[in-house]
Chains A and B, each alone.
Chain A
Amino acid sequence: MNAERIEGLLRGVPTRGLAAEHEAALIAALCAAAAARGARGWRRPVRLWTAAAACTCVGLLSAGLTAAWHAGASRFDEPFPAAVAVRAHLDAPLFAARADPPVRGGFAEWRVLDVKPNGGNE
């Protein structure tokens, strides 16, 4: 068993990730914090819904709202025009069950999409 084989063994083993709820909350918090700093690509100051939108599509709104609130988002009254939505394309049962429309196929990646005020994707 040579060194390359050991390295191959180590690299070939799957590793654990964060729980889906945790990851959704984390993404919402990061969205809120990035928006609060006026990160490039964000066209408006942070709005609570903006960050919470990260989680709505996977049915994790409460986690997103809580995380966004703690991350500094401050208003409920703005819908999320020009917001960033995070669409979950995950094959985990949690996402497959909660995503609307349901996720089919399944490559395990989050995608960040800019959405227009009317909700359409850019």
Chain B
Amino acid sequence: MRFYLEHRRALAAYAIALTGGAADAHDLIQDVLLRLIRGGAAPQHPRAYILRCLRTAAADRRRVRRPEARGDAGPDPAFLDVGGADAEARELIGLLQTALRSLPAAQREVLVLRVYGELTFQEVADVLGRPFGTIASTYARGIEALRITLGLEVEDERRAH
């Protein structure tokens, strides 16, 4: 309970990224946390463990709903909130969403877990079941790709003015 209250922002952001909507995210979080409470799980790194459970549960749901679908499209940046933002901020958030969507799924997943899941590289590696070095280099490539994409956007804006 207290865990949820302390980490609700990261859990909600990641669950929305995995499911694409707040209602499905709620179902996902509730299913996972109830299962953990009932099972009496006491993981050493609870946030990473629960994010991994969310990821696995979301993949299971996708398989049940769309068994013909292959592969994982990766988390969607729909969790970035444009609701209360002014026009300028909305434009920036839109640029970031587009730039994140343009990344390969693996890079996007590492970036989302690291930045919005607030995990260390080691924890991201544990969540995704990949080596630490792979995660660090994937993250660096993702940041570099965003830098290039957003840099181009900035240049485009300058030219337009």
Query: 0/1 per residue, A1-42, Cβ < 8 Å to B?
Result: 111001101110111111100110111011101101101000
CB-nearest residue of chain B relative to A11?
B115
Q: B37, B84, B144: which contacts A14 (Cβ < 8 A)?
A: B84
Are the CB atoms of B93 and A13 closer together than 8 Å?
yes
Are the CB atoms of A10 and B30 closer together than 8 Å?
no
B residues contacting the other copy or chain, number (CB 8 A): 41
Q: Report how far A14 CA is from B79 CA in the complex, Å.
A: 9
For residue A26, which residues in chain B have a CB less than 8 angstroms away from its CB?
4, 26, 29-30, 33
Are the CB atoms of A6 and B143 closer together than 8 Å?
yes
Q: B23, B37, B38: which contacts A22 (Cβ < 8 A)?
A: B23
Are the CB atoms of B1 and A13 closer together than 8 Å?
no
For residue B116, which residues in chain A have a CB less than 8 angstroms away from its CB?
10, 15
Interface range on chain A (Cβ under 8 Å from partner): 20 to 34
Q: Name B's interface SS.
A: helix
CB-nearest residue of chain A relative to B34?
A33
Are the CB atoms of A3 and B143 closer together than 8 Å?
yes
Interface residue? B80 (CB, 8 A) = yes
Q: A6-B146, A26-B29 are in contact. Are A33 and B84 (CB under 8 A)?
A: no
Q: Report how far A19 CA is from B4 CA in the complex, Å.
A: 15
For residue A3, which residues in chain B have a CB less than 8 angstroms away from its CB?
140, 143-144, 147
Minimum distance in angstroms from A62 CB to a CB of chain B? 16
For residue B5, which residues in chain A have a CB less than 8 angstroms away from its CB?
109-110, 112
Minimum distance in angstroms from B92 CB to a CB of chain A? 8
CB-nearest residue of chain A relative to B145?
A6
Interface residue? A48 (CB, 8 A) = no
- Which of chain B's residues 128-155 have a Cβ closer than 8 Å to chain A? 140, 143-144, 146-147, 150-151, 154
- Which of chain A's residues 24-74 have a Cβ closer than 8 Å to chain B? 25-27, 29-31, 33-34, 36-37, 39, 67, 71
For residue A13, which residues in chain B have a CB less than 8 angstroms away from its CB?
80-81, 92-93, 96
Most buried by B among A1, A16, A25, A39: A16
Residues of A within 8 A of B (CB): 1-3, 6-7, 9-11, 13-19, 22-23, 25-27, 29-31, 33-34, 36-37, 39, 67, 71, 84, 109-110, 112
Extra inter-chain contacts (10) besides given A17-B12, A33-B38, CB under 8 Å: A6-B143, A10-B96, A14-B81, A15-B13, A16-B78, A17-B13, A27-B4, A30-B30, A37-B40, A112-B2
